[in-house]
């Protein structure tokens, strides 16, 4: 089975969510189900059905996180010697050549991507165009509006 790359921080966040789901959310749902059962007839008990639906969602999320963690290849970018190249986990400062706009992105796993926080998925077009390049290289990215070119200003290896 193919391992999925994830940053140290991404793995930590998944583990924290898993602990919360198992120690806080799951017991609260079990208590809600018990209270709803005490009200009598389960066929027409909306509280019971809502709690069971929430339980189903929570158990699905727990299974999803456990699966992701078991298939994860946790990569600590601070321990990799990439010799100035853009690799998974690196933070890259780019200048869009047409507009002169400067943006900074960290290349992360699919589940960690959040463009608002400057975290792009390793499978995104921009990340694929950047991987293996170095500072001062030009990366061409096929965007919906056409090809955009970026100059790599800086490559950092920080978590």
What is the tens place of the pLDDT at every residue in 64-101?
A: 999 999 999 999 988 888 888 999 999 999 999 989 99
Q: What confidence tier does 1 reach under pLDDT thresholds 50, 70, 90?
A: low
| DSSP H helices in the chain | 8-20, 26-38, 46-70, 125-130
Q: Tell whether the model's pLDDT for residue 23 goes beyond 80.
A: yes
What is the separation of C-alpha 108 from the centre of its chain, rounded to a whole number of angstroms? 7
CB atoms within 10 A of CB 82: 15
Residue 47, pLDDT > 90, answer: no
* Partners of residue 7 on adjacent β-strands: 75
What are the domain boundaries of the chain?
4-75, 77-156
Query: Model pTM?
Result: 0.80
Q: What is the pLDDT of residues 142-153, one digit of tens each?
A: 888 889 999 999
Domain range 77-156, CATH architecture: Roll (3.10)
Strand 91-96 relative to strand 102-108: parallel, antiparallel, unpaired?
Answer: antiparallel
Of 1.10.287.180, 3.10.20.310, 3.40.50.620, 3.40.50.1970, which CATH number belongs to 4-75? Answer: 1.10.287.180
Angstrom CA distances, 3 to 6, 24, 114, stand at 9, 29, 21
């Amino acid at each position: 089975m193919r391992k999925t790359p994830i940053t140290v921080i991404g793995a930590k966040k998944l583990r924290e969510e898993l602990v919360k789901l198992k120690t806080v959310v799951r017991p609260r749902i079990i208590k809600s189900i018990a209270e709803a059962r005490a009200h009598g007839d389960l066929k027409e008990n909306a509280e019971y059905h809502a709690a069971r639906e929430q339980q189903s969602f929570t158990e699905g999320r727990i299974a999803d996180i456990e699966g992701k963690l078991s298939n994860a290849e946790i990569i600590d970018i601070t321990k990799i010697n990439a010799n100035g190249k853009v690799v998974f986990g690196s933070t890259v400062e780019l200048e869009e050549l047409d507009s002169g706009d400067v943006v900074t992105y960290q290349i992360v796993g699919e589940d960690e991507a959040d463009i608002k926080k400057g975290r792009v998925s390793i499978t995104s077009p921009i990340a694929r165009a950047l991987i293996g390049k170095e500072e001062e290289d030009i990366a061409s990215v096929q965007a919906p509006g056409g090809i955009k070119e970026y100059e790599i200003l800086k490559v950092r290896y920080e978590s």
